[in-house]
Structure 1
Amino acid sequence: MLIREAAPEDWPAVWPFFHTVIAAGETFPYPLDLSSDLGREWWMLAAPHRTVVAVNAAGTVVGTANMTRNRPGNGAHVASASYLVDPAHHGRGIGRALVEYTLDWARANGYRAMQFNAVVANNHHAVKLYRSLGFDIVGTVPEAFHHPVDGYVGLHVMHRPL
Structure 2
Amino acid sequence: MNGYGNGNITLRLARDENFEGIWPILRSVIRAGETYAIDPQISRDGAFDLWMQSPRATYVAEVGGEILGTYYIKTNHAGGGAHVCTCDYLVAEAARGQGLAAWMCEHSQAEALKLGYRAMQYNLVLSTNTHAVHLSHKLGFDTVGRLPTAFDHPKMGLIDALVMYKWLEF
**In which range does the TM-score fall when normalised by the shorter chain?**
over 0.9
Secondary structure in 2 aligned to 1:139?
Answer: strand
Q: How does 1:132-143 map to 2 (within 5 A)?
A: 132-143=138-149
Structure 2: stretches of 5+ with no match in the other structure:
1-8
Cα distance in structure 2, aligned partners of 1:77 and 1:18:
27
Q: Which residue identity is paired with 2:43?
A: S
Taking only the aligned residue pairs, the percentage that are identical comes to: 39
Match of 2:31 among 6, 23, 32: 23
Between the aligned partners of 1:122 and 1:104, the Cα distance in structure 2 is 27
What is the distance in 2 between the residues matched to 1:46 and 1:36? 14
**Alpha-carbon offset, residue 123 of structure 1:** 0.5
What residue is the counterpart of 1:116 in the other structure? 122
Q: Would you say the 8 A contact 1:77–1:113 is kept in 2? A: yes
Structure 1 residues 64 and 121, CA, compared in 2 at 3 Å: closer, same or farther?
same
Match of 1:50 among 53, 57, 60: 57
Q: Which of 130, 141, 157 is equivalent to 2:136?
A: 130
Q: State whether residues 85 and 120 of structure 2, in contact with CA within 8 Å, keep that contact through their aligned partners in structure 1.
A: yes
Q: TM-score, length-normalised on structure 2?
A: 0.90
Q: Secondary structure at the match of 1:158?
A: strand
| Map 1:1-162 → 2, pairs under 5 A | 1-45=9-53, 49-56=56-63, 58-162=64-168
Output the CA distance in 2 between the equivalents of 1:23 and 1:88: 17
Any idea what SS the aligned residue of 2:22 has?
A: helix
- In 2, Cα distance between equivalents of 1:18 and 1:46: 15
Other structure's SS at 1:44 match: helix
CA contact (8 A) 1:45 1:66 kept: no
* Shift of residue 46, structure 1, vs aligned partner: 5.4
TM normalised by structure 1 equals 0.95
Deviation, structure 1 residue 88? 1.6
Instruction: State the distance in 2 between where 1:36 and 1:135 align.
Output: 32
Q: Tell me which amino acid in the other structure corresponds to 1:80.
A: T
1:59 deviation in Å? Answer: 2.4
- In the alignment, structure 1 segments of 5+ residues that lack a partner are none
Q: What secondary structure is seen at the aligned counterpart in 1 of 2:160?
A: strand
CA displacement 1:63-91 (0-9 Å, x = unmatched): 10000111111001111111111112101
Tell me how many residue pairs correspond in the alignment: 160
Check the 8 A contact 1:51/1:67 in 2, yes or no.
yes
User: Which deviates the most, 129-138 or 38-47?
Assistant: 38-47
In structure 1, distance between residues paired with 2:112 and 2:20: 27
